[in-house]
Protein backbone atom coordinates (compact mmCIF):
# COMPACT_ATOMS: atom_id res chain seq x y z
CA UNK A 1 0.00 0.00 0.00
CA UNK A 2 3.02 2.24 -0.41
CA UNK A 3 2.18 5.38 -2.34
CA UNK A 4 5.00 7.68 -3.29
CA UNK A 5 2.94 9.58 -5.83
CA UNK A 6 1.66 12.88 -4.54
CA UNK A 7 -1.42 13.05 -6.74
CA UNK A 8 -3.52 14.11 -3.75
CA UNK A 9 -2.15 15.98 -0.77
CA UNK A 10 -2.07 14.41 2.68
CA UNK A 11 -4.94 16.52 4.00
CA UNK A 12 -7.25 15.48 1.15
CA UNK A 13 -6.23 11.87 1.70
CA UNK A 14 -7.07 12.17 5.42
CA UNK A 15 -10.42 13.77 4.59
CA UNK A 16 -11.23 10.86 2.27
CA UNK A 17 -10.11 8.34 4.89
CA UNK A 18 -12.27 9.81 7.68
CA UNK A 19 -15.55 8.78 6.05
CA UNK A 20 -14.50 5.13 5.89
CA UNK A 21 -13.70 4.57 9.56
CA UNK A 22 -16.15 2.39 11.44
CA UNK A 23 -16.28 1.74 15.15
CA UNK A 24 -19.09 -0.59 16.17
CA UNK A 25 -22.82 -0.24 15.52
CA UNK A 26 -25.60 1.88 16.98
CA UNK A 27 -29.37 1.38 17.11
CA UNK A 28 -31.70 3.61 15.11
CA UNK A 29 -35.45 3.89 14.60
CA UNK A 30 -34.95 5.18 11.06
CA UNK A 31 -33.98 1.71 9.79
CA UNK A 32 -35.93 -1.46 10.14
CA UNK A 33 -34.41 -4.53 11.74
CA UNK A 34 -32.96 -6.55 8.86
CA UNK A 35 -33.80 -9.92 10.42
CA UNK A 36 -37.45 -9.06 11.10
CA UNK A 37 -38.36 -6.15 8.78
CA UNK A 38 -42.11 -6.38 9.40
CA UNK A 39 -41.77 -5.74 13.14
CA UNK A 40 -41.74 -1.97 13.52
CA UNK A 41 -41.11 -2.19 17.27
CA UNK A 42 -37.56 -3.52 16.70
CA UNK A 43 -34.82 -1.04 15.97
CA UNK A 44 -32.37 -1.40 13.10
CA UNK A 45 -28.63 -0.77 13.21
CA UNK A 46 -26.25 1.58 11.46
CA UNK A 47 -22.48 2.01 11.63
CA UNK A 48 -21.16 4.15 14.44
CA UNK A 49 -18.21 6.18 13.18
CA UNK A 50 -15.83 7.28 15.90
CA UNK A 51 -12.36 8.04 14.61
CA UNK A 52 -9.54 7.23 17.01
CA UNK A 53 -6.54 9.09 15.67
CA UNK A 54 -2.97 9.06 16.93
CA UNK A 55 -0.69 11.84 15.73
CA UNK A 56 2.98 10.99 16.30
CA UNK A 57 5.46 13.85 16.03
CA UNK A 58 9.18 13.39 15.62
CA UNK A 59 10.58 15.99 18.05
CA UNK A 60 14.22 15.26 17.26
CA UNK A 61 14.55 18.69 15.64
CA UNK A 62 13.68 17.73 12.08
CA UNK A 63 10.26 19.43 12.06
CA UNK A 64 9.88 23.10 12.98
CA UNK A 65 7.29 24.29 15.51
CA UNK A 66 5.51 26.28 12.81
CA UNK A 67 5.23 23.23 10.50
CA UNK A 68 3.91 21.15 13.38
CA UNK A 69 1.30 23.72 14.47
CA UNK A 70 0.01 24.20 10.92
CA UNK A 71 -0.22 20.43 10.39
CA UNK A 72 -1.97 19.63 13.68
CA UNK A 73 -4.50 22.45 13.14
CA UNK A 74 -5.13 21.03 9.66
CA UNK A 75 -5.81 17.58 11.18
CA UNK A 76 -8.24 19.05 13.73
CA UNK A 77 -10.06 21.05 11.02
CA UNK A 78 -10.42 17.93 8.87
CA UNK A 79 -11.85 15.74 11.63
CA UNK A 80 -14.04 18.35 13.36
CA UNK A 81 -17.17 17.20 11.48
CA UNK A 82 -16.81 13.63 12.78
CA UNK A 83 -16.81 12.01 16.18
CA UNK A 84 -13.14 11.71 17.00
CA UNK A 85 -10.50 11.26 19.65
CA UNK A 86 -6.99 12.56 18.98
CA UNK A 87 -3.94 11.48 20.96
CA UNK A 88 -0.67 13.27 20.33
CA UNK A 89 2.58 11.39 20.88
CA UNK A 90 5.85 13.29 21.05
CA UNK A 91 8.80 11.00 20.40
CA UNK A 92 12.41 10.78 19.27
CA UNK A 93 14.29 7.62 20.32
CA UNK A 94 11.50 6.90 22.81
CA UNK A 95 8.05 8.26 23.61
CA UNK A 96 8.46 11.47 25.60
CA UNK A 97 4.83 12.56 26.15
CA UNK A 98 1.28 11.44 25.29
CA UNK A 99 -1.79 13.64 25.66
CA UNK A 100 -5.28 14.06 24.23
CA UNK A 101 -6.34 17.05 22.17
CA UNK A 102 -9.91 18.01 21.31
CA UNK A 103 -9.10 21.36 19.67
CA UNK A 104 -6.10 23.55 18.89
CA UNK A 105 -6.14 25.09 22.41
CA UNK A 106 -5.27 21.68 23.90
CA UNK A 107 -1.99 21.44 21.98
CA UNK A 108 0.97 21.81 24.34
CA UNK A 109 4.30 23.42 23.54
CA UNK A 110 6.66 20.82 22.16
CA UNK A 111 9.39 19.40 24.35
CA UNK A 112 12.85 20.62 23.42
CA UNK A 113 14.95 17.53 22.77
CA UNK A 114 17.51 16.81 20.12
CA UNK A 115 18.61 13.36 19.10
CA UNK A 116 17.91 10.46 16.83
CA UNK A 117 14.63 8.99 15.64
CA UNK A 118 13.15 5.54 16.21
CA UNK A 119 9.74 4.56 14.87
CA UNK A 120 9.29 1.29 16.85
CA UNK A 121 8.25 2.77 20.26
CA UNK A 122 5.27 4.51 18.62
CA UNK A 123 4.16 1.35 16.81
CA UNK A 124 4.52 -0.70 20.02
CA UNK A 125 2.26 1.77 21.82
CA UNK A 126 -0.32 2.09 19.02
CA UNK A 127 -0.57 -1.71 18.56
CA UNK A 128 -1.93 -1.93 22.13
CA UNK A 129 -4.73 0.59 21.49
CA UNK A 130 -7.87 0.58 19.32
CA UNK A 131 -6.52 3.25 16.97
CA UNK A 132 -8.00 3.66 13.47
CA UNK A 133 -5.43 6.04 11.95
CA UNK A 134 -1.80 6.76 12.79
CA UNK A 135 -0.44 10.00 11.33
CA UNK A 136 3.35 10.16 11.66
CA UNK A 137 5.05 13.55 11.12
CA UNK A 138 8.76 12.98 10.53
CA UNK A 139 11.71 13.76 8.30
CA UNK A 140 11.79 10.07 7.32
CA UNK A 141 15.22 9.38 8.79
CA UNK A 142 15.09 6.66 11.40
CA UNK A 143 15.60 2.96 11.80
CA UNK A 144 15.71 0.55 8.85
CA UNK A 145 13.66 -2.26 10.42
CA UNK A 146 10.73 -2.02 12.87
CA UNK A 147 10.86 -4.14 16.03
CA UNK A 148 7.11 -4.84 15.84
CA UNK A 149 4.72 -5.39 12.96
CA UNK A 150 2.13 -2.60 12.50
CA UNK A 151 -1.45 -3.42 13.52
CA UNK A 152 -4.73 -3.15 11.61
CA UNK A 153 -4.82 0.62 11.49
CA UNK A 154 -4.15 2.92 8.57
CA UNK A 155 -0.75 4.64 8.61
CA UNK A 156 -0.14 8.01 6.99
CA UNK A 157 3.48 9.17 6.86
CA UNK A 158 3.89 12.93 6.40
CA UNK A 159 7.48 13.67 5.44
CA UNK A 160 8.88 17.17 5.89
CA UNK A 161 12.14 18.56 4.65
CA UNK A 162 14.18 17.46 1.65
CA UNK A 163 13.61 13.73 1.99
CA UNK A 164 10.59 12.10 0.37
CA UNK A 165 11.17 8.57 1.65
CA UNK A 166 10.95 6.71 4.93
CA UNK A 167 14.18 4.96 5.95
CA UNK A 168 12.34 1.67 6.58
CA UNK A 169 13.29 -1.23 4.32
CA UNK A 170 9.72 -2.63 4.24
CA UNK A 171 7.57 0.43 3.63
CA UNK A 172 3.89 0.37 4.52
CA UNK A 173 1.12 2.93 4.68
CA UNK A 174 0.76 6.00 2.53
CA UNK A 175 3.71 8.40 2.25
CA UNK A 176 3.01 12.08 1.56
CA UNK A 177 5.31 15.11 1.48
Task: Band the pLDDT of 106: cuts 50, 70, 90.
Answer: confident
Return the DSSP state at 172: -
Residue 23: what pLDDT? 60
**Residue of 113, 49, 100 whose CA lies nearest to 72:** 100
Looking at residue 13, its pLDDT comes to 72
Percentage of the residues of the chain whose pLDDT score is greater than 70? 82
Q: Per residue in 141-170, pLDDT tens?
A: 888 888 888 888 888 888 876 667 787 888
What Rg, from alpha-carbon coordinates, does the chain have?
A: 18
Residue 4 has pLDDT above 50, yes or no: no
User: Which position has the higher pLDDT, 89 or 26?
Assistant: 89
> Residue 127, by phi and psi: left (phi above 0), alpha (psi -120 to 50) or beta?
alpha
Share of the chain above pLDDT 90, in %: 3
Find out whether 155 and 134 touch, Cβ atoms under 8 Å: yes
- Count CA within 13 A, CB hemisphere, residue 21: 25
Helices (H), the chain: 10-18, 65-79, 120-127
Q: What is the mean pLDDT of the chain?
A: 79
**What is the arithmetic mean of pLDDT over 74-82?**
76
Residue 124 pLDDT exceeds 90: yes
SS3 154: strand
Amino acid sequence: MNSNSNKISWNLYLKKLMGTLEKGRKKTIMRRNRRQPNRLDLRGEISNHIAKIVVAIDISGSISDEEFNVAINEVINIVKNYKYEIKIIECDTKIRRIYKAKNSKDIKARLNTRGGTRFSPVFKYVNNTDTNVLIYFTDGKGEVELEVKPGKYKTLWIISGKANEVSLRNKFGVIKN
